């Protein structure tokens, strides 16, 4: 969506602007003007079909980031498939059918990096490797090579690596166990390869993800699964970004929160909703939050993800309770309704500590 300049080129242009301003060339921008023309943060979603075909968790993540004020960003990639309901920056590097091991062996990543110059890589890769019964050691060796190639392109690369969603197709009885075994190895691998300049952060996309309800084929996420994935990526990614001014900031030093409801889809007798919880403090983090939903008569919550449900109250799931000042997280739910069609608009109130 936005222009993509390599970091070295951006630095050269900035230096030329300063030189021009100092020499009094006509039309040269001032140093202050050049500083405000900084490139957006470039984020590469990297993986296979779960990321790119169509990978609608990317559209939900983009939407959450924009609403939370993280607007100076650019999703980048050599692919641009967009068939999701939400309008978003669809650039990505999600290659259907690709293996992490083959991508590393064939040195495919350096070309993609050179074409897009990302600052952050969001990687959900390895599903096809697990399906192909490739050993965890071999997949992690490929991960190591890929991270090395990222750092060769950008020594300060920030990398988010997923513990991948469950793999449990009807044609692979052993895939579920293989996925669990592989995911168990990822945190120790990440700890061993992370550096202060180029941190590698593990994002748990596996815990609480159910292939029976969150995928359409035991592998690829449906709308519920996409929402879960976006909600898991959001806190880790937003921690690497600088938000704009919050729309309704809280009083300095107070750990308050707001809750915004959005209807995702509706059908006769039910609907899917999403609630974005935002820390409204400008300085203080939250350690936990609770959202109370005032549902219309005849409406009942039947399932919640990324939160713990008690009646009509949803508490944080533990991993998403801590929110930095201005940060947001999202939980989703399914509800039944007595209405023939259409989604009611429940009132959501939030309390944080």
CA triple 129-131-135, angle to 5 deg: 50
CA angle in degrees (0–180, nearest 5) for 163-167-173: 140
CA distance 82 to 98: 19
Question: Measured between alpha carbons, how far is 168 from 177 in angstroms, rounded to an integer?
Answer: 9
- The DSSP element (H or E) to which 60 belongs, if any, is helix 57-67
Grade residue 340 by pLDDT with cuts at 50, 70 and 90.
Answer: low
CA distances from 158 to 170, 185, 237, 298 (A): 36, 20, 10, 47
* Average pLDDT over every residue of 96-103: 97
Q: Could you tell me which of 75, 93, 83 has the C-alpha nearest to residue 56?
A: 83
Tokens 């995928």 sit on residue? 215
The packing angle between helices 57-67 and 223-238, to 10°, is 50
Per the model's pLDDT, the better-predicted residue between 225 and 147 turns out to be: 147
Give the whole-angstrom CA distance, residue 343 versus residue 227.
Answer: 18
Reported as a single tens digit per residue, the pLDDT across 273-314 is 889 998 887 778 888 888 888 877 777 888 889 988 887 889
| Beta strand residue intervals within 48-176, DSSP E | 73-75, 93-94, 120-124, 158-163
Q: Which of 43, 40, 26, 4 lies closest to 233, judged by CA?
A: 43
pLDDT at residue number 111: 98
pLDDT in tens, 205-250: 998 899 999 999 999 999 889 989 998 898 889 889 876 543 333 3
Provide the CB-side half-sphere exposure for 161 (13 A, CA): 28
* Helix locations, 154-268, DSSP H: 175-193, 211-214, 223-238
At 17-72, the pLDDT tens digits run 444 444 433 333 443 344 344 689 999 999 999 999 999 999 999 988 988 889 99
In the three-class reduction of DSSP (H, G, I as helix; E, B as strand; rest coil), residue 101 is classed as helix
Q: Beta 289-294 vs 270-279: how paired, if at all? A: unpaired
CA pair distance 183, 160, nearest whole angstrom: 14
Report the DSSP beta bridge partners of residue 330: 276
> What is the number of alpha carbons within 13 Å of residue 38 lying toward its C-beta?
9
Prediction pTM value: 0.64
Which of 56, 76, 69 minimizes the C-alpha distance to 6? Answer: 76
Strand order of the β-sheet with 257-267 is 257-267, 270-279, 328-336, 300-305
> Does position 318 have pLDDT exceeding 90, yes or no?
no
Q: Alpha-carbon Rg of the chain, whole angstroms?
A: 22
DSSP-derived 3-state class of residue 257: strand
pLDDT at 264: 80
Give the per-residue pLDDT at 244.
54
Chain position carrying tokens 């999202």: 330
């Amino acid at each position: 969506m936005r222009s993509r300049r390599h970091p070295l080129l951006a630095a050269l242009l900035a230096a030329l602007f300063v030189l021009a301003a100092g020499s009094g060339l006509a039309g040269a921008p001032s140093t202050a003007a050049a500083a405000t023309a900084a490139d957006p943060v470039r984020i590469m979603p990297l993986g296979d079909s779960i990321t790119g075909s169509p990978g609608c968790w990317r559209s939900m993540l983009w939407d959450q980031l924009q609403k939370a004020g993280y607007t100076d960003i650019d999703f980048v990639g050599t692919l641009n498939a967009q068939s999701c309901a939400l309008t978003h920056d669809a650039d990505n590097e999600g290659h259907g059918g690709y293996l992490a091991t083959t991508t590393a062996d064939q040195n495919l990543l350096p070309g993609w990096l050179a074409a897009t110059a990302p600052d952050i890589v969001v990687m959900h890769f390895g599903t096809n490797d697990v399906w192909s019964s490739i050993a965890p050691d071999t997949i992690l060796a490929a991960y190591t090579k890929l991270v090395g190639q990222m750092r060769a392109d950008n020594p300060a690369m920030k990398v988010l690596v997923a513990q991948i969603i469950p793999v449990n197709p009807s044609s692979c009885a052993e895939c579920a166990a293989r996925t669990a075994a592989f995911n168990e190895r990822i945190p120790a691998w990440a700890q061993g390869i992370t550096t202060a300049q180029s941190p590698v952060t593990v994002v748990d996309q596996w815990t609480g993800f159910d292939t029976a309800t969150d995928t359409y084929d035991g592998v690829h996420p449906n709308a519920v699964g996409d929402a879960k994935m976006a909600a898991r990526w959001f806190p880790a990614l937003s921690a690497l970004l600088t938000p704009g001014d919050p729309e309704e900031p809280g009083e300095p030093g107070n750990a308050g929160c707001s809750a915004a409801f959005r209807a995702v889809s509706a059908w006769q007798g039910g609907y899917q909703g999403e609630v974005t919880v935002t820390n409204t403090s400008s300085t203080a983090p939250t350690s936990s939050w609770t959202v109370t939903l005032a549902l219309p008569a005849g409406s009942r919550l039947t399932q919640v993800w990324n939160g713990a449900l008690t009646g009509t109250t949803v508490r944080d799931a533990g991993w998403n309770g801590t929110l930095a000042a201005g940060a947001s997280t999202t939980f989703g739910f399914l509800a039944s309704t007595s209405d023939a069609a259409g989604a009611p608009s429940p009132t959501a109130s939030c309390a944080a500590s």
